[in-house]
Amino acid sequence: MSRPTTPLPQPPTQASTATFASPPRSSTHPVKPRHHIPHHPHRTHHHRHHDVSVPQSAIQPTTSVPFSDVISRTTAKAIDGSKPPSLEQQQQQQQQLQTELAKEQAAKDEVDREQAKWVEVEKKRAKRKAVDDTLLLTLTNLSSLSTSTTRRLDYTYYSLLSSISSLHTTLSALHTLSLSLSTYTSTFISETTLLTTDLSSQITHQTFEAQARRIGGLEERMRKGRERKEDLSGSVTTSAASRGSSVDAEATLRLFDEL
């Protein structure tokens, strides 16, 4: 009994290959006949002498590759060995390539812009940080200067207060001294006036003459008393030497004392 034969798959036509057209790729493999069915690289079947008209059932498969896989591989090989794409397809491919290049350039430009933006941001941050550091240093210097100036002003203020207090004390002392001088001057003037009046009332011309006469009389009495004393002393000495009497000498001495 003979088995039914299975027709071989027909190779894809030119119309079918146009639908699976892809960008042209350079290939060094020779163009195989369109009716040839490529074998799997791992197949070990070497019966290439069979004619394509031999029924498929007469050929014993050596692998378990499905028929659909064979069809897909045959279609891919046929597409690879097809003729170059048309001018319109080339233009479309060029436009697509230009579009992709433009997109890549735009992306690169965007990245460059982002990098430039970040560089500018970093520069601005560094500049802002430098300005902040300068302002902080200036603020610190101003704070130190204000503290020093405030301290000096406090010292000056307290010195002025001390000087003003000393001036008030000096003015009070001067005022007291002026009052004392005024009082002393008034007292001195009054006492001087009283003394002048007293002296003027006591020392007059008549009083001076009477005093002069009285002083002259006193001087005369003193002179006479001195002469009498000398006479008595000589008498006592002579009498004591002649008599040797102590009684007369004592009496004479008592008399001399009375004089």
Instruction: Give residue 74's pLDDT.
Output: 53
Around Cβ 253, how many Cβ atoms within 10 Å? Answer: 13
Instruction: Give residue 9's pLDDT.
Output: 45
Residue whose tokens read 């290439």:
48
Residue 11 clears pLDDT 50, i.e. is over it: no
Q: Domain-by-domain residue ranges, the chain?
A: 9-21+31-83, 84-170, 203-239+252-258
Contact status, residue 22 vs residue 78, Cβ threshold 8 Å: no
Contact status, residue 63 vs residue 40, Cβ threshold 8 Å: yes
When comparing pLDDT for 209 and 157, which is higher? 157
| Sequence-distant (≥ 6) Cβ neighbours of residue 9 within 8 angstroms | 37, 67, 70, 71, 74
- pLDDT band at residue 95, thresholds of 50, 70 and 90? confident
Q: How do residues 190-238 score in pLDDT, each as one tens digit?
A: 999 888 888 777 766 556 677 778 888 888 888 888 888 787 777 767 7
Q: How far apart are alpha carbons 123 and 23 in whole angstroms?
A: 48
pTM: 0.32
- Helix or strand or coil: residue 166? helix
